[in-house]
Structure 1
Amino acid sequence: MHKSAVCVFLASVLLLCNTAPVDHHGGSDAKCPLMVKILDAVKGAPAGSVALKVSRRSANGEWTQVANGVTDPTGEVHDLITEQDFSAGVYRVEFDTKSYWKGEGRTPFHEVAEVVFEAHTEGHRHYTLALLLSPFSYTTTAVVVKTHD
C-alpha cells in the first residue's frame, strides 16, 4: 500500500510539472509573470473555482494583498499580476482550499494552503506555482524560468 501511494504521488508531481505551460507564456511574461495551476488529486482533474490571494511582505514584516483570482475550469489562473506590480520581494499565495473541498462535499483538514517564496532574487523570472490538492494534504512545486538576460 505504501509503495502504491508513493507511486501515485510521484506520478502526480510529474503530471504537475508537465502541465505547467512554461513555453506558452514565454512571449507574454509582461502580462503573466506569476501563473497558478491546481490539480485535484481525488478526482485526478484540474481544480476549478479555487479562490486565491497574493500578498507581498513589506520591510516591517506586514503582508499587503497585491492580487487575487479564481482558478478557471482548467485549474489555472492567468494574468494574476502584472510584471510592474510583481517586484522583487517575498510573496505569499494563499489558496482557499476549505471552500473548494466543501463545494466538493468533503470535510478538509486545512483551512488554506499557503506558498511563501522570494521572487526575483537573481533578476526577472516567470513563476508557475503548481498545487496538488487532497482533503488532508497538499503538495506544491514551482517552475521558475529566467525570462530576460
Structure 2
Amino acid sequence: MDKASILVLLSSALVFCQGAPVDHGGSDSHCPLTVKILDAVKGIPAGNVALKVSRKGTNGTWEKISSGTTDIAGEVHEIITEQDFTPGVYRVEFDTKNYWKAEGRAPFHEVADVVFEAHAEGHRHYTLALLLSPFSYTTTAVVVKAHD
C-alpha cells in the first residue's frame, strides 16, 4: 500500500472518530471506554462485530472482563464500568474474521487486537476507532480527561 493510501486511511479513522455522536441513551462523557468501527470497503459503520475486553493480570495472563457487539452505527458504549476500568494494560479483541465471512469475503486476519495501558497519566476516557478491511486494519484512540 502506498503512502498516500495509508494517509487517507488514517485521516478517515480520525474523521470517523470525531464524527457526530449517535444517541445511545447516554453521554460518552460517562463511558470510560467506547469502541467505533468503520468498514473501509463499504465506507459505512461496521455493525455486528463481536469483541471482548481483557485486562492483563499481575501474572501476565489475560482476564476477560467484558464483551459486546457493535450496533448498527458500528459502536459499543458502556462496555465497561468506571469501577471495573482500573489502571492497567487492556486488550480489545475484535472478531474480524466472522464479520468478513458474513460479508462474503475471505479475510486475512482472525482478529484485530488493540493493546493499551489505561490511566497511566491519571483517570481518562478512551474512544478506540478501528478502520477495517479484509487484509488490514488501522486503529486510533482519542484519550480525554474524565469529567468530574
Q: TM-score normalized by structure 1?
A: 0.89
Deviations for 1:41-89, whole angstroms, at most 9, x for unmatched residues?
0000000000000000001100000000000000000110000001000
Give me the identity figure in percent.
Answer: 71
What's the Cα RMSD here?
1.8
Question: Structure 1 pair 19/48, CA: closer, same or farther in 2 (3 Å)?
Answer: same
Question: Structure 1 pair 42/137, CA: closer, same or farther in 2 (3 Å)?
Answer: same
How does 1:103-118 map onto structure 2 within 5 Å? Answer: 103-118=102-117
| 1:147, distance to aligned residue in structure 2 (A) | 1.1
Distance 1:25 1:102 in 2: 31
User: Which residue matches 1:15?
Assistant: 15
Are the counterparts in 1 of residues 53 and 66 from structure 2 also a CA contact under 8 Å? yes
3-state SS of the aligned residue for 1:19? coil
Letter in 2 for 1:18: Q
3-state SS of the aligned residue for 1:117? strand
3-state SS of the aligned residue for 2:98? helix
How does 1:44-123 map onto structure 2 within 5 Å? Answer: 44-123=43-122
Deviations for 1:100-126, whole angstroms, at most 9, x for unmatched residues?
000000000000000000001121100
Are the counterparts in 2 of residues 20 and 143 from structure 1 also a CA contact under 8 Å? no
Distance 1:6 1:61 in 2: 33
Distance 2:50 2:127 in 1: 17
Alignment pair present for 1:129 and 2:132: no
Q: TM-score normalized by structure 2?
A: 0.89
Distance 1:49 1:71 in 2: 5
Letter in 2 for 1:17: C
Letter in 2 for 1:5: S
3-state SS of the aligned residue for 1:102? helix
Letter in 1 for 2:113: E
User: Which residue matches 2:144?
Assistant: 145
Distance 2:8 2:95 in 1: 24
Q: How many residues align?
A: 143
